[in-house]
Amino acid sequence: MWQYEKRLEYPVQVTCPDVKFAKLVITQYGGPDGELSASLRYLNQRYSMPTKEAKAILTDIGTEEMAHMEMIAALVYKLTEGADPKDFEAAGWGGQWAQHDSGLFWTDANGVPWTAKYIACLGDPITDLTEDMAAEQKARATYEHLIAATEDPLAKATLRFLWQREVVHFQRFGETLNAVQEHLCGKHMWMGQEMK
């Protein structure tokens, strides 16, 4: 189904390590509005979509979100490269070092582990696509917060790329929602129920 290219979708670079900023960025790895949640949400929801086009959009965006998770992982790794336990402790992230060293783990910025509660799938295409649009807006806002939280121009460039992709995904989901609504109306269906 997938063809994996051994390169990031966008080059990830940092000016210098910054463990304190890495602690914030990790939320897009395993936080409620992060890339893991998005990829799993979309790749799961695609099965209940009523059209091939809607299934394809969810598959395409879901796989791209996996690429974004890879970019976030690379960014966190570069921000922590060469850091020792004292650096992690100084950044208020000593628990990360104690449990994972410099290994990545799916958490938010407060250290709360990822949970399946972050994703939704009701099986109703209109509800799910509306949820997807909201998820993209929350991710967009989080990227804006992260961009404002650093002075590193290279890290900002990566985050701006990801921000732009959230905007595009929101637009694609909006177009798909319109098409699915038209499809359901044409079948005399609404919200999964036949209208008599």
Confidence of residue 4 (pLDDT cuts 50, 70, 90): confident
What is the signed CA dihedral for 120, 107, 19, 74, rounded to 10 degrees? Answer: -60
Domains defined along the chain, listed by start: 19-194 (1.20.1260.10)
68 is in an annotated binding site: yes
101 labelled binding-site residue: no
DSSP single-letter state for residue 116: G
Contacts of 108 (CB under 8 A, 6+ apart): 26, 27, 30, 31, 32, 34, 114
- The response to whether 64 counts as a known ligand-binding position is no
| Residue 60 labelled as part of a binding site | yes
pTM: 0.92
Q: Taking 90 as the threshold, does the pLDDT of residue 5 lie above it?
A: no
Q: pLDDT for 107-141, tens place per residue?
A: 999 999 999 999 989 999 999 999 999 999 999 99
Confidence label for 79 from pLDDT (cuts 50, 70 and 90): very high
Tallying the residues shown for the chain, one arrives at 196
The sign of the torsion formed by the CA atoms of 151, 32, 73, 111 equals: positive
